[in-house]
Chain A
């Protein structure tokens, strides 16, 4: 086997090594990390909910209690965030499975280009969702004194913290997706069969 692999002068430069090279491992690890980031962003934001009961004394022994809740569905930007990150994590999962178990799909013409373009679309989508959610989170944290919009993060601490965590995960996912996009573009040049 070693002689066959070493004698690549006769076979030409198209022979792939049998073991996974370090570059393939890097791509798999990055894809796994991106999957983890987008998936955790989706989960944390989708399960983000906080309820607070406010008791207002009415004088004497009467009091009414009002229940205020903060849910992610109340803000359209967060809904978009959840949807965008779930699409991206589905994309990451399918590409990870393709890379791990899809040896026979490797030489389909045009697949490399499709993956690159799909990665670019995912980057744009997730960054759009993260930016919208970040602007709403900033509004919730600082309020807007000119529009008389009060900040809500001082009342709903845990909601804000969890939302912030989901945002950080999503931004990390965007960065990883960008790196993966660059690497797969470079791969496009190296592997002419899938161009």
Chain B
């Protein structure tokens, strides 16, 4: 029984490290995305901070990775129950940021014919792929966070495993 519990704790620590890795790499990949192209003799560059949604995405994932690191070191005392509340807030923040970045990314790739917005992915393909990779990492982070949240509720509030 003790061995099973220890394996479970190790697995969860590994998952928490993975969530930290996913959110941290999403932040880093977003921040390092930039591309400069020449279109009709005009230099055009694409950086992540030209779009507020991508800025929000980078900041939220940064907060998520720092939070993951901090939670790794909190022991399973009564304080851990309060941390579940923070878990909910941070998961929600990550979900919202991924959602917002995806909305802007969709417009960048497909354009919006009704508003007259041309898709820019044809002109800056490497930037687009870079941001797509960051979004995939962000969504992986969201899924791992959701799983960890459910597990935290199961362990520290009430067992919900059927």
B112 near A128: Cβ-Cβ < 8 Å: no
- Chain A to chain B: the 5 pairs with minimum beta-carbon distance, closest first: A131-B96, A135-B100, A128-B99, A77-B103, A132-B103
From A70, A135, A144, contact of B50 by CB (8 A): A144
A152 near B95: Cβ-Cβ < 8 Å: no
A29 located at the interface, meaning its Cβ lies under 8 Å from any Cβ of chain B in the complex: no
With A147-B50, A185-B157 already in contact, 11 other A-B pairs whose C-beta atoms are closer than 8 Å: A74-B112, A77-B103, A124-B95, A127-B95, A130-B96, A135-B52, A135-B103, A138-B52, A144-B50, A147-B46, A147-B108
Please list the residues of chain A having a beta carbon within 8 angstroms of any beta carbon in chain B. Answer: 68-71, 74-77, 80, 113, 117, 120, 123-124, 127-136, 138-140, 144, 146-150, 152, 178, 181-182, 185, 188, 195
| CB neighbors of A among B95-130 (8 A) | 95-104, 106-108, 112, 114-118, 120
Q: Inside 8 A of A124's CB, which chain B residues have their CB?
A: 91-92, 95
Bound-complex Cα distance A121 to B11 (A): 25
CB<8 Å pairs between A and B, sample of 10: A70-B114, A77-B106, A80-B99, A117-B160, A127-B92, A133-B103, A135-B56, A146-B45, A147-B117, A147-B120
How many chain-B residues does the 8 Å CB contact rule pick out? 39
Select from chain B the residue with minimum beta-carbon distance to A131.
B96
A135 near B118: Cβ-Cβ < 8 Å: no
Main secondary structure of the interface of A (DSSP, over half): helix
Given known contacts A135-B104, A152-B115, A182 and B92 CB-to-CB distance under 8 angstroms:
no
Bound-complex Cα distance A188 to B158 (A): 10
B17 located at the interface, meaning its Cβ lies under 8 Å from any Cβ of chain A in the complex: no
Interface centre among A117, A123, A128, A152 (most CB of B within 10 A): A128
Bound-complex Cα distance A127 to B88 (A): 12
Q: Inside 8 A of A68's CB, which chain B residues have their CB?
A: 114
Bound-complex Cα distance A146 to B45 (A): 8
B99 near A131: Cβ-Cβ < 8 Å: yes
Bound-complex Cα distance A148 to B157 (A): 51
Select from chain A the residue with minimum beta-carbon distance to B110.
A76
Bound-complex Cα distance A120 to B115 (A): 35
Bound-complex Cα distance A138 to B103 (A): 11
B83 located at the interface, meaning its Cβ lies under 8 Å from any Cβ of chain A in the complex: no
What 1/0 mask marks residues of chain B from 58 to 102 whose CB sits below 8 Å from any chain A CB?
000000000000000000000000000100110110011111111
What 1/0 mask marks residues of chain B from 40 to 54 whose CB sits below 8 Å from any chain A CB?
000011110011110
B53 near A135: Cβ-Cβ < 8 Å: yes
Q: Shortest beta-carbon distance, A188 to chain B, in Å?
A: 7
Bound-complex Cα distance A124 to B94 (A): 9
